[in-house]
Amino acid sequence: MVVDDELEYGNMVQKMLQEMGHACEVAEDDFEAPARIANEQFDLVISDQHLLKPNLAKPYEKIERQVMELLIRRILIVDDEEDYRMLVYRLCQKIDHGYSCDLAANGHEALDLIIRGRYDLVIADIHMYGFTGIELMRAAQELYPELEFILITGHAPEYEFSDIIDAGASDFISKPFALGELKAKIGRIEKEQRVLRSLRESNLQLSESYDQLKLVLEDLINALGSALEMKDLYTAGHQKRVSDIACQIARNMGLSHKQITAIRLASLVHDIGKISIPSEILSKPSKLDELEFGLVKRHSSIGYDILKRTPFPWPIAKIVLQHHERMDGSGYPQGLSGDEILLEARIIGVADVVEAMSSHRPYRAALGIEKALEEISMNKGILYDPDVVDACLMIEDCCLCPDPSRTAPRQTEAAQSLQ
Q: Which residues are catalytic?
A: 274
Q: How many whole angstroms separate alpha carbon 166 and alpha carbon 36?
A: 36
Phi, psi of 147 (to 5 degrees): -70, 125
Specify burial of residue 324 (Cβ count, 10 A radius: 0-12, 13-18, 19+).
Answer: buried
173 forms bridges with which residues in the sheet? 152
Q: How many whole angstroms separate alpha carbon 88 and alpha carbon 152?
A: 10
In the DSSP assignment, the letter for residue 253 is: T
The secondary structure element, H or E, covering residue 77 is strand 74-78
Phi, psi of 172 (to 5 degrees): -145, 130
Q: How far is CA 200 from CA 69, 143, 403, in A?
A: 16, 21, 48
The secondary structure element, H or E, covering residue 306 is helix 299-307
Contact 327, 341 (CB under 8 A): yes
Tally of CA atoms within 13 A in the half-sphere of 40 that contains its CB: 18
DSSP string, 368-411: -HHHHHHHHHHTBTTTB-HHHHHHHHTS-HHHHSPPTTPPPPSS
Among 418, 299, 404, 401, which residue's Cα sits nearest to residue 361? Answer: 418
